[in-house]
Structure 1
Amino acid sequence: MNIYVGNIPRNSEEQPIRELFEEYGSVSEVKLLRDRYTGELRGFGFVTMESEEEAQNAIDNINNTELGGRTLVVNKARPRTERSDNRSFGNRNQRSW
């Protein structure tokens, strides 16, 4: 099961997050997302656990706990939706004459 982990302190590393979740079962992947330009953590990531039961137990026990002075938000990850690259930024590309 893929688990969303939000409100992660920006100075966090993957290993402590992995260890936190491994208390509840087998973790196959930890991915903390970084800003593509600055390389800084974006404050959220995903943990993949092998078993649905272990994952739900981790969610129930870790959600609303504190890590590095921040309260974690932990829940089942929603499927990613595709974004169009044709996003509109106002009418910047349209001429009005």
Structure 2
Amino acid sequence: MKVFIGGLPTEVSEAELNAVFEDFGPVKSLRIIKDRETKESRGFGFVEMVNDDEAKEAIRCMNGQSYYGKRITVNVAEDKGPGFNRGGFSRN
């Protein structure tokens, strides 16, 4: 199950976040989204857990918690489908 993590402090590393979520079960993948130009964290990321029940437990325990002094949002990631928000061009 893919999980969205929002409100992340910019100084948090993927390794640190991975360690937090591994407390709930095996992590398949984890990525903090970064600005393409500055390479700075955009304050959110995604973790994919191997087991759905463990992902749900991570969501239940982590959502609304303070992490590095910031309250984080943790919930099921929404699938936006292929091509969502890929272009910077409008035909209108």
TM-score calculated relative to the size of structure 1: 0.85
Once the two structures are TM-superposed, the CA of residue 55 in structure 1 deviates from its matched residue by: 0.3
User: Do the aligned partners of residues 83 and 68 (structure 1) sit closer, same or farther apart at CA in structure 2, a change above 3 Å counting?
Assistant: same
What is the identity, as a one-letter code, of the residue corresponding to 2:77? A
Once the two structures are TM-superposed, the CA of residue 73 in structure 1 deviates from its matched residue by: 0.1
What is the identity, as a one-letter code, of the residue corresponding to 2:50? E
Instruction: Compare CA radii of gyration and give the structure with the larger one.
Output: 1
Question: Does residue 1:44 correspond to 2:44, yes or no?
Answer: yes
From 81, 86, 90, give the equivalent of 1:87: 90
Cα-Cα RMSD: 1.5
Identity %: 33
Counterparts of 1:30 and 1:84, CA distance in 2: 21
Which residue does the alignment assign to 1:78? 78
Secondary structure at 1:54's aligned position in 2? helix
Show structure 2 runs of 5+ residues with no match: none
Deviations 1:52-90 (A, max 9, x none): 1000000000111111110110000000242362237xx
Segments ≥4 residues shifted beyond 2 Å: 83-88
Once the two structures are TM-superposed, the CA of residue 28 in structure 1 deviates from its matched residue by: 1.1
Show structure 1 runs of 5+ residues with no match: 92-97
Which residue does the alignment assign to 1:59? 59
Which residue does the alignment assign to 1:31? 31
Secondary structure at 2:57's aligned position in 1? helix
